[in-house]
Structure 1
């Protein structure tokens, strides 16, 4: 294993990102949803020789489109027009709560509706009859992309590409089922807008440093994102609300029931799924179940040793991932892949560089407070509520 990393330093990457995002290639704008929330959007034009195709990109939880400047630049260099947005209550988009660093949504379908409204207004529109778009999504954005492609259908979508999609997310320290119960109980106790268990009410302020090593092997790309967060602190969330957990949990369960359970339906849009094997944030097992139930019309790419942030990974990993996505998207644009074709599962075995020592990610509370006491109170209240519900159910039986 080598210790080779991308030659540009994080400061150089940051400067390049600023240059690209402020160039004539990129157009920053805003879009107002049907319920009146302003969302920040970015449109990237092809740098040369446009191919006439458009890609809609969905970021993950606690991310912003500025994080993916390198990916957007690469797509535009290949002739694609790219549309993307920051999801509601994150990035540069409008918040639904007065506490701006809590991720909050009452219904996961709002993410899908926002993206659908944006695509319909900015791409399809009155003159978009017969036009098709490709959708790419990472993590939470992967689930949004899958649900959005399903909603728009094959008459409007060429294909959907997902990278480490959040079909189920990890819920430490609780098992998945317990997290689902907490997600329902805590909002009923009036704690729906509070940070979920493990996050104090005062919130967190991450110091500028490398992302935890379980996100990516690339120190410099991680450092670039950290610098972007330091420049625009608004793009950094402290944590999800209890209501967000409930909404996301329900969305995952619903998707699994529809497309990853015995007797489920067939996912209607051609898809490719990039599956990092060392993912610490989403359940790889749920992805495996989906893939096993959806044998036609899809392609599964297991990336051995890769972490969750596959689009900002080291070049040894990233190049293989991008090649798979680009090849799949291009094939469906050109009509060379039939939707009925059964794609094989493939494995990428990148030579991953040794990971240097990372500085421990430190978090400091805003203004002190009794975060631990608040968290303990929530846990005790939830345990009492759950115990009471189980007892009452036993009494009825």
Structure 2
């Protein structure tokens, strides 16, 4: 696939040298790390990269991710005239944990993510910018969507990448998985079952590139894994019963409440996604269309042959994805 790198984005072949000589020094110079008290007093960490640009861009990561993983993207977007803000969701990155095992993928209520996000945005000086845009990935897109149903004027435009509206649960249908996790949590609450790993889940694993479902970019995938080995405190493992239960319900709410969103949206869909399913994204856009606020092109933009992490994929998928986003933000 040929692509036009019209925004001069970082390319895979230059990434090793460029990260060491340009991107990492940029991050160390400009990234200001702060914390605030989220729901129930959980410490929430976030990074701000401000250089006096006229535009603001909020990045909302997916499950298990930290702002450290977004250094390449933050650099590329800063070159487009944006000040960048990135949050570490509760239970991951450098934010506080809610269970004794720091690797548990746990949340008590999915609304805690959304309310943390709202508290964070209230701390940011977004009003001083001429444009305010948002990019959200996977679980981050679910969080952002639920936030946008209630807050219509905070962002000028938003891009949702591989949004988690329909989780790939393997042989389980969502309602079946919801019933199983709810029954497990209810019947075994005294044993702390809600904080235990769901079936097929477990502690963090450094999966070989050949066996991964996230990205086909070997260089970007290895960078992500090496980053977590260098910073083991940000490792997060599989999802717990409670997280699965809450995430299924939140994904369904994001679809059914899409009609309440007023912010112009772009939805990007990865054609070879094995983490989330396309039908949920399709229905989300149909609901927007029926409500009179169609997403760009009235349906998801499909990035052919791409895997789940569009922003961490091979150049031939990442560059077109970011071209769509940056064009949309014009």
TM-score band w.r.t. shorter chain: 0.7 to 0.9
Name structure 1 gaps, 5 residues minimum.
Answer: 260-264, 331-397
Q: Is this contact kept in 2: 1:55–1:81, CA < 8 A?
A: yes
Of the three residues 184, 191, 194, the one matched with 1:192 is: 194
Q: Is this contact kept in 2: 1:215–1:309, CA < 8 A?
A: yes
Distance of 2:169 and 2:144 partners within structure 1: 22
Aligned CA distance change for structure 1 residues 290 and 239 (closer, same or farther; 3 Å): same
Distance of 1:150 and 1:130 partners within structure 2: 22
Q: Secondary structure at the match of 1:147?
A: helix
Residue 306 of structure 2 corresponds to: 306
Residue 264 of structure 2 corresponds to: 270
Q: Secondary structure at the match of 1:99?
A: coil
Q: Is this contact kept in 2: 1:146–1:160, CA < 8 A?
A: no
Residue 350 of structure 1 corresponds to: none
Corresponding position: 1:27 with 2:37: no
- How do residues 185-334 of structure 1 correspond to structure 2 at under 5 angstroms? 185-189=183-187, 190=189, 191-199=193-201, 203-207=202-206, 209-210=208-209, 212-259=211-258, 265=259, 267-295=261-289, 296-299=293-296, 300-330=300-330
Q: Secondary structure at the match of 2:41?
A: coil
Distance of 1:113 and 1:210 partners within structure 2: 35
TM-score normalized with structure 1 length: 0.73
Corresponding position: 1:103 with 2:109: no
- How do residues 1-397 of structure 1 correspond to structure 2 at under 5 angstroms? 6-8=12-14, 13=19, 17-23=23-29, 25-46=30-51, 50-124=52-126, 128=127, 133-153=132-152, 155-189=153-187, 190=189, 191-199=193-201, 203-207=202-206, 209-210=208-209, 212-259=211-258, 265=259, 267-295=261-289, 296-299=293-296, 300-330=300-330
Name structure 2 gaps, 5 residues minimum.
Answer: 3-10
1:266: how far off?
5.0
Residue 6 of structure 2 corresponds to: none
Distance of 1:71 and 1:223 partners within structure 2: 16
Aligned CA distance change for structure 1 residues 45 and 12 (closer, same or farther; 3 Å): same
- Please identify the structure whose Cα radius of gyration is greater: 1
Q: Is this contact kept in 1: 2:197–2:241, CA < 8 A?
A: yes
Q: Is this contact kept in 2: 1:160–1:272, CA < 8 A?
A: yes
Encode CA deviations 1:145-183: one digit per residue, 9 max, x unaligned. 112222221x22211110000011111242222111112
Q: Is this contact kept in 2: 1:86–1:92, CA < 8 A?
A: yes
Residue 5 of structure 2 corresponds to: none
**What CA RMSD, in Å, does the superposition of the two structures yield over aligned residues?**
2.3
Aligned CA distance change for structure 1 residues 297 and 9 (closer, same or farther; 3 Å): closer
Distance of 2:320 and 2:175 partners within structure 1: 35
* Structure with the higher fraction of residues in helix conformation: 2
Q: Secondary structure at the match of 1:62?
A: coil
Comparing 9-18 with 182-191, greater Cα deviation is found at 9-18
Q: Secondary structure at the match of 1:70?
A: helix
Aligned CA distance change for structure 1 residues 61 and 11 (closer, same or farther; 3 Å): farther
